[in-house]
Amino acid sequence: ILNVEQSPQSLHVQEGDSTNFTCSFPSSNFYALHWYRWETAKSPEALFVMTLNGDEKKKGRISATLNTKEGYSYLYIKGSQPEDSATYLCAPRAGTASKLTFGTGTRLQVTL
Amino acid sequence: GAVVSQHPSWVICKSGTSVKIECRSLDFQATTMFWYRQFPKQSLMLMATSNEGSKATYEQGVEKDKFLINHASLTLSTLTVTSAHPEDSSFYICSAPGSGNTIYFGEGSWLTVV
């Protein structure tokens, strides 16, 4: 079982603030790292799938970086909006199987 | 885009009864699906891998006779919690791999055993 840690556990920011979260995971046997955005009562929404060391991906105001050698990924949100409020999950994959190991997530709350 | 649908969203059952949760891939085929469980303040934990046309693979510590998984078609996997007890009350969610490396999730099912 992979040990996946996400920090912070929760975060409360004001609208317009930029923020970032961390996901750390074992670097051995790395295959891919998934980021999800999960709103209450909805399906987790796939944000990024990252596979290569040094990968940087962007989707609107959200971006992510990946360091597979040291085993961490950062998720950045620029100019947070209330609709960004959600739990952000990271999940590495070891090997080619589609099994994911999740961290406990970072719960983001953006207020006006 | 690809969608995974899970039903029911909420279910309450009496202790000792069985309850079935369905997971469907709506616009793609999935030879493999995954079932996760989440207890309060914990992360999603993989319970088992559902394999179309063959037996499911269970993670360590998950009772296969208690959590019956059937994957009879390329778009449907079911999880049956048999002889449910209050400690089985949890959030259950399924996923299925789509094209590329994307893995799609259902909406999840809240089970309460009373």
Q: How far is CA A15 from the centre of its chain?
A: 20
- Judge whether residue A29 has pLDDT over 90: no
The pairing of beta strand B109-113 with beta strand B10-13: parallel
Arithmetic mean of pLDDT, B75-89: 97
- Per-residue pLDDT reduced to its tens digit, B91-107: 999 999 998 889 999 99
**A51 in reach of chain B (CB within 8 A):** yes
- Per-residue pLDDT reduced to its tens digit, A47-101: 999 999 999 999 999 999 999 999 999 999 999 999 999 999 999 998 777 889 9
Measure B15 CA to nearest chain A CA, in Å. Answer: 25
With a CB cutoff of 8 Å and minimum separation 6, the contacts of A44 are A36, A37, A38, A89, B93, B105
Asked if A43 lies within 8 A of B32 by C-beta distance, the reply is: no
- Judge whether residue B1 has pLDDT over 80: no
Arithmetic mean of pLDDT, B11-34: 96
What is residue A20's predicted lDDT score, i.e. its pLDDT?
96
- Judge whether residue B2 has pLDDT over 70: no
Smallest CA–CA distance from B50 into chain A, residue: A99
Look over chain A and give the mean of its residue pLDDT values, rounded to a whole number.
Answer: 94
